[in-house]
Amino acid sequence: MEVLIIVNIITSLSVLLGGICMKKYADSPADYSIGFRTRRAMSSPEAWSFANKKCGRLWIIIGIIGFIATIDGTFTPFGYTGYAELGVLILLILALIFSVISTEMHLKHDFK
């Protein structure tokens, strides 16, 4: 199941790159090309900065953990099974969903 290993690596690195971009552009004015673009996040410059810093930090952590889990499983003596590879991908997706929901909940609470 080398395809899932490649998909996991690409997904992890994409999430990591997205997190770095969110943190880098957190203090820039809100725009429609990059960043955490929800109605709440774009309601004020403070909300925009907060959302991108928080979600960017979470995405960086998720990307690093996903990449390490994929590489670690690939180079173990037993290697990954197809189910483990799929499990890593599902956990990556669930972590991304959690990061968006968590950021939105903090925005709702802190920026009414």
Vertex 37 angle, CA 61 and 25, to 5°:
60
Per-residue model confidence (pLDDT) at position 85: 80
Residue 97 buriedness (CB in 10 A; 0-12 / 13-18 / 19+): exposed
Domain ranges of the chain: 2-110
Per-residue model confidence (pLDDT) at position 79: 60
Per-residue model confidence (pLDDT) at position 37: 87
- pTM flag (> 0.85): yes
What are phi and psi for residue 105, nearest 5 degrees?
A: -65, -40
pLDDT (tens place) for every residue of the chain, 112 residues total? 688 889 999 999 999 999 999 998 888 887 777 888 889 998 889 999 999 999 999 999 999 999 998 887 776 666 666 677 888 889 999 999 999 999 999 999 988 6
What is the rounded distance in angstroms from the CA atom of residue 82 to the CA atom of residue 52?
Answer: 34
